[in-house]
Amino acid sequence: MKRLFTLLLAIGLLACQQQVAEKKTGLMADSAMVVTAHPLASQTGVAILKKGGNAVDAAIAVQFALAVVFPAAGNIGGGGYMVVRMKDGSVATLDYREKAPAKATTDMYLDKNRDVIPNLSISGHLASGVPGSVDGMVEAHKKFGTLPWKDLVQPAIDLALKGFTLTSREANWFNESRADLIKYNSIKPEFLLKNNWKSGDTVKWIDLGHTLERIRDNGRAGFYEGKTADDIVSEMQRGKGLITHEDLKNYKSVWREPVTGIYKEYKIISMPPSSSGGVCLIQLLKCVEPYPMKSWGFNSAKTIHLMVEAERRVYADRTKYLGDPDFYKVPVKELLDDQYNDERMSTFNPDQATPSAQVKEGKIAGYESEETTHFSIVDSKGNAVSSTTTINGWFGSKVVVAGSGFFLNNEMDDFSAKPGVPNMFGVLGTKANRIEPQKRMLSAMSPTIVEKNGELFMVVGTPGGSTIITSVFQTILNVVEHGMSMQQAVDARRVHSQWLPDIVVPEERAISKSDSLALVKMGHKIVLRKNIGRVDAILVKGGKLEGGADHTRGDDTAAGY
């Protein structure tokens, strides 16, 4: 009966035309390209490149510009990851993920019956980790920057203090979040100055502009010490949060060894833990590599079934084994091993879904046991940056640091508050990702760079919580298996699955009626969703750059020359 219902649901909901990606390419450029979630941030990046800055200089300027023009996700109150590939082929990855405050405890979101208290890790002061973005930008500049620091922060200051116009999406987002912003802020932030924001309104964020001036003039100390730090700590005291002056002073981002893996003639360079992104992405590619997806076709039942079966196994591993490597021994090498992934897929049945209840993490020998934004940049020399940054939920914890004018993250929700209880993205965790003081919460962010035959091929990433990994996975496959242009690969409808809950989640019009029926017959449960991810990517082809900007799902824009 249940099966019949699912079948009928699938027929009813999917009886619309499957999207056939239009034949088109994105913006083409000869020298350099910046693709971000906002036209003004993309223009800021291009201006820095034209001034002679490299891709990392542009990335720093974009990070600060996004904090102003796209405050729902762009940030100085959050954290992120950056993957850099310089023109000589050298690579580096920077982890500027937030950390749990020193006063955080494993059980901090549980009531006396040890049940998770709803919303405590999602909204309000207790939801925030210690921000990493400003330290991350300072570290990136120290290692790779070529233009003066001040020149990279100034464009964001100008946007904040001289003003810019709101897009209609942004105006709506502010209006829709109004009640939450009122609820979680005792001192009215500038974002609430108007009752009803409209597209084309000119806005100035004066407090944020002055905070950026302190960062411009004092670097790290402009955020982690002095007035900004005082404002953060006072904000914490007003809302019974945990972040202290000591936490801020102690925050350090970390350069880590990238994770790499080979898929056919492509080399994947991505983020290691504390993100699960790179490990899971490479595992997924290894799991599907032996199968002829190209002949099965884009989003056919066979292709989706294969991807979903790989995803179940990989997300089960994620739940068990992935966490902050500074606190938990993550078996990265073992998880990326070819034989291990072959073994994981040995139970794959091409005709039948494996119920997630029957899928556990793999055995590792000797082992004890919406909001985010991504940008991709390539400069005229061929240096590339792939960076994803976040305050986690839309407008983060909804708390604005009074006097300093920026949103704080709600990244603490990315920890596992209790084994077996899903977080806001429905993902589970165990000891590997339990809360511990000063630990980084596990991420799915997957800023990635792909090489082909040793040359730069693609720069790619997206927001989307747990769907990040599967969106990046599909975008790569869309180009390398399904022959799409970068823009088509970004526009193409996506399908997500993550082991638990045991469902397949396509965007509307992602799967044809007959393919959805075939999937339901195999035993998959299908639940539609409007949008998955906002991929911003760059493809190198024939000596030119193609920008793929996700402008159907957001304000994302490519700019290049």
Q: Parallel, antiparallel, or unpaired for β 28-29 and 557-560?
A: unpaired
Q: With respect to ligand DON, which residue has the nearer C-beta, 54 or 372?
A: 372
Are residues 78 and 393 in contact, defined by beta-carbon separation less than 8 angstroms?
A: no
CA-to-CA dists, residue 364 to 173, 313, 319, angstroms: 45, 14, 14
Output the smallest distance, CB 282 to ligand DON, in A.
17
- Name the phi and psi angles at 457, rounded to 5: -120, -50
Output the smallest distance, CB 468 to ligand DON, in A.
6
Output the smallest distance, CB 14 to ligand DON, in A.
24
448 is catalytic: no
Local structure of 495: helix, strand or coil: strand
Cα distance between residue 425 and residue 498, in whole Å? 10
- Nearest in space to 404 (alpha carbons), one of 230, 145, 219: 230
**Binding to ligand DON in span 149-188, by CB under 6 A:** none
Are residues 266 and 450 in contact, defined by beta-carbon separation less than 8 angstroms?
A: yes
Structure tokens at 110: 């549980």
Q: Per rule CB under 6 A, is residue 390 in the interface with ligand DON?
A: yes
Are residues 251 and 131 in contact, defined by beta-carbon separation less than 8 angstroms?
A: yes
- Nearest in space to 217 (alpha carbons), one of 296, 157, 139, 279: 157
Output the smallest distance, CB 496 to ligand DON, in A.
12
With CB under 6 A as the contact rule, which of the stretches 42-50, 133-141, 302-310, 365-373 interacts with ligand DON?
A: 365-373
Cα distance between residue 174 and residue 143, in whole Å? 36
Handedness of CA 497, 501, 504, 506 (dihedral sign): negative
Q: With respect to ligand DON, which residue has the nearer C-beta, 411 or 451?
A: 411
Output the smallest distance, CB 475 to ligand DON, in A.
15
Residue with tokens 């969106």: 471
The residue within the footprint of ligand DON, chosen from 121, 372, 512, 516 (CB under 6 A), is: 372
Q: Per rule CB under 6 A, is residue 300 in the interface with ligand DON?
A: no
Q: Per rule CB under 6 A, is residue 414 in the interface with ligand DON?
A: yes
Q: Per rule CB under 6 A, is residue 444 in the interface with ligand DON?
A: yes
Torsion, Cα 99 103 104 109, to 10 degrees, reads -140
Q: Per rule CB under 6 A, is residue 447 in the interface with ligand DON?
A: no
- Nearest in space to 134 (alpha carbons), one of 60, 207, 69: 60
Q: Per rule CB under 6 A, is residue 389 in the interface with ligand DON?
A: no
With CB under 6 A as the contact rule, which of the stretches 217-225, 321-329, 364-372, 519-527 interacts with ligand DON?
A: 364-372
Q: Per rule CB under 6 A, is residue 443 in the interface with ligand DON?
A: yes
With CB under 6 A as the contact rule, which of the stretches 40-48, 56-64, 167-175, 368-376 interacts with ligand DON?
A: 368-376
The residue within the footprint of ligand DON, chosen from 461, 464, 547, 560 (CB under 6 A), is: 464
What does the buried/exposed string (b/e) look like for 24-45 if buried means 16 or more CB atoms within 10 Å of the residue's CB?
ebbbbbeebbbbbbbbbbbbbb
The residue within the footprint of ligand DON, chosen from 151, 231, 247, 370 (CB under 6 A), is: 370
**Binding to ligand DON in span 468-507, by CB under 6 A:** 468
Neighbours of 202 (CB within 10 A): 9
Structure tokens at 11: 């027929």
The residue within the footprint of ligand DON, chosen from 465, 506, 547, 554 (CB under 6 A), is: 465
Q: With respect to ligand DON, which residue has the nearer C-beta, 125 or 318?
A: 318
Total residues contacting ligand DON (rule CB under 6 A)?
14
**If residue 84 lies in a helix (H) or strand (E), which one and from where to where?**
strand 79-85
Output the smallest distance, CB 326 to ligand DON, in A.
16
- Nearest in space to 381 (alpha carbons), one of 88, 5, 34, 67: 88
Structure tokens at 429: 């965790």
Q: With respect to ligand DON, which residue has the nearer C-beta, 189 or 464?
A: 464
Pick the catalytic residue from 93, 319, 372, 462.
372
Output the smallest distance, CB 428 to ligand DON, in A.
14
Q: Which residues are annotated as catalytic? A: 372
Q: Which residues bind ligand DON (CB under 6 A)?
A: 370-372, 390, 392, 411, 414, 443-445, 463-465, 468
